[in-house]
Structure 1
Amino acid sequence: MYMRYFFRLFSAMAGPRPVVLSGPSGAGKSTLLKNLLKEYEGVFGFSVSHTTRSPRPGEENGKDYHYVTREYMQASIDKGEFIESAVFSGNMYGTSKASVQAVKDKNLICILDIDMQGVRAVKTTDLNPIYISIQPPSMNILEKRLRDRNTESEESLQKRLDAAQVDMEISKEPGIFDIVIVNDNLDDAYGKLKDALIEEIKKVQKNNLS
């Protein structure tokens, strides 16, 4: 269980529009994103999140996470420097305004892969991203995909399914997402994802050539 804290950005960010990508586990976000990054190398980037947890073996500060103290992170949150943040298993995690801007400064489209609560948090800011939801065709198909993974307990699986049901309902609300992509066929879903982003992709490619 964790809590989300919402904060407002006070100044517009320059550079390509970011992309907020959301959807339940098992909907196919990771596969679609992997295909996108492979086809458009040097176009997209990820912001480096902050956390108060200690680095794990092999992790690098500034690459995997920005590892900071709880006092530093809370102070930054209080100043409105974070787009969204969460407390999970006693540790704080969050996406800072500066980390997104750092990606945009490189003329890259910043991808924020966040949950529905994070989407609502971004809605309170002036980040102006493209909001995209990736959804499964049905709960039955989603359950089969998750079970086929065979990676978690029944209790954990049920929690994911319950969260997915809520996610699917919220995705239908008007004004939440610019586009909702139902991943029934991977090629079709990928085509729709590219269509939604092609204008920003072309802008980045054009700037890179100039």
Structure 2
Amino acid sequence: MKRGLLIILSGPSGVGKGTIRKIFSEDERLNLAYSTSMTTRKPREGEQDGVDYFFTTREEFEKAIENGELLEYAEFVGNYYGTPLKEVNRLRDEGKNVLLEIEVQGATQVQQKCPDAISIFIVPPSMEELERRIRGRRTEPEEIVQQRLAKASNEMKMVYQYKYIVCNDDPQLAAELIETIILRHIELEENK
């Protein structure tokens, strides 16, 4: 059995990563699996340990960092979030193609550790459109909107560190492009 691919899906907040992922992840030919992330935040109502996240203490998470047990990690709003390396390797060894939907900071860490990863960066048609989408949510105060826009502007400078750049002008088309990219890499691996 061939080892599965590692696929990074990244891009600024509000670009539509989740929407696009939901469209293409239904294609069984992609043989996708999602690795469950680890976090130090408390479980929300209805979340299950080992399903939604691996919930852990700050001490245990920091020990995992020290021991090199995480493929990538970041601290956000006082909590750690990361991708357990053991889980990713288990899924890939089972022949699954592992999809990581992660922030630019985490993607950079993964690319350094796994140069064979297929990295895909989703861009908005324009920064004005991204701002319209973020504001359209109407879920955050102006201060947070400004922070997200500033972060997005910085993340857009990292776009050329990715193997593929896909513009989300139309989520269906963007999903089809990503699906094609993944299928092509599956084909290349099968022909090795």
Output the TM-score relative to the length of structure 2.
Answer: 0.88
Kindly report which structure 2 residues correspond to 1:28-177, keeping only aligned pairs within 5 A, or say none: 28-40=16-28, 43-126=31-114, 128-171=116-159, 173=160, 176-177=161-162
- Aligned partner of 2:123: which letter? Q
CA offset at residue 63 of structure 1?
0.7
Aligned to 1:179: 164
Distance 1:36 1:49 in 2: 21
Aligned to 1:199: 184
Q: Which moved more, 1:56-65 or 1:118-127?
A: 118-127
- The 8 Å contact of residues 91 and 98 in structure 2, kept in 1 or not, is answered as yes
Identity over aligned pairs, percent: 36
- The 8 Å contact of residues 16 and 200 in structure 1, kept in 2 or not, is answered as no
Distance 1:109 1:190 in 2: 16
The list of structure 1 runs, each at least 4 consecutive aligned residues, that deviate by more than 6 angstroms after superposition, is none
Distance 2:87 2:116 in 1: 15
CA offset at residue 111 of structure 1?
0.9
Which residues of structure 2 form unaligned runs of 5+? none
Distance 1:90 1:157 in 2: 19
CA offset at residue 200 of structure 1?
4.2
CA offset at residue 98 of structure 1?
0.7
CA deviations on 1:107-135 (whole Å, 9 max, x unpaired) are 22111111111111112203621000000
Which residues of structure 1 form unaligned runs of 5+? 1-13
Query: Matched residue pairs, number?
Result: 189
- Aligned partner of 2:34: which letter? F
Give the root-mean-square deviation of aligned CA atoms: 2.2
Distance 2:47 2:115 in 1: 29
- The 8 Å contact of residues 30 and 97 in structure 2, kept in 1 or not, is answered as no
